[in-house]
Structure 1
Amino acid sequence: MSCKVFSYLLSVLLIAQIPINGISAGTDDNEIDNAPEYYLLQGVKVYPADRECALLGGLCVHHSDCLEPTTNRGLCPANKHRGVECCYELPLRPAPCEQHLGICMNTCAEYLQRPGTDCQGGQVCCVLV
């Protein structure tokens, strides 16, 4: 076996051992063991989506963080005790540009600009479309 082939096989084996994002599921019930409690999007805490909310295209967020809630209440039952409801529209809050799904750029169309807190040197946070 040549050195290149051996190196390639070794690198494939090493990469296969790296856990993806550190999330794993239980073997008995296939439930996610160490899923994060929430993630941040546009400076808003977004909780794991319950099926009912996801089917409507909504996000599970605290009711005070929602600009346009769904007409039905209780679509996020897993986090109801936290005041979480299904929401269609989130407010734009200052947050790192990555949370706005954008990058810092020198120029950007005004309708794509978001309040990024980590852009420096006159750059603006621009949503990637």
Structure 2
Amino acid sequence: MLKTFVLLAVILSCNVNSEPVDFYPEKLCNAVGGQCILKDECPYPIKYLNRCPRQQHFGAECCHGVSIKEYRCHRFGGECVVNGSRCPYNLQVKRPTNCPAGTFCCILI
């Protein structure tokens, strides 16, 4: 019974919903214009290794891009705005799915 419970707890603790992992910024990565994300979630080849030293043991590397698993508008540098709002087409991001109905993600510059 205990083995079954432990196995179930391990399975439930796994990241089964494929949400992106949040890491905090590190100076070495920021200095080259990147952000610390899970290495396997970076959409581009990693150019700068070892620039997230405090989180590297969790799999973080310095990436120039947003995680391939990211779905939150604010992580793209945007904000959910009401449909019909003025937002240039090239600043409208379709990938985020957390904006409420009747809104879309607009990158803030």
| TM-score in same-fold range (> 0.5) | yes
Q: Structure 2 vs 1, CA of residues 47 and 104 (structure 1 numbering), >3 Å: closer, same or farther?
A: same
Match of 1:65 in 2: 41
Larger Rg: 1
Cα distance between partner residues in 1 of 2:39 and 2:30: 16
Q: CA RMSD in A?
A: 2.4
- Relative to its length, the structure with more strand (as a share) is 1
The answer to whether residue 61 in structure 2 is matched with residue 85 in structure 1 is yes
Quick one: percent identity of the two aligned structures? Answer: 27
Q: Taking structure 1 as reference, are residues 117 and 82 closer, same or farther at Cα in structure 2, changes over 3 Å only?
A: same
Q: Distance in 2 between matches of 1:120 and 1:102?
A: 14
Aligned match of 2:105? 125
Q: Which runs of 5+ in 1 are unaligned?
A: 1-42
Alpha-carbon distance in 1 for matches of 2:97, 2:42: 20
Flag structure 2 segments of 5+ consecutive residues without an equivalent.
1-18
Q: Aligned residue for 2:90?
A: 111
The count of residues paired between Structure 1 and Structure 2 equals: 85
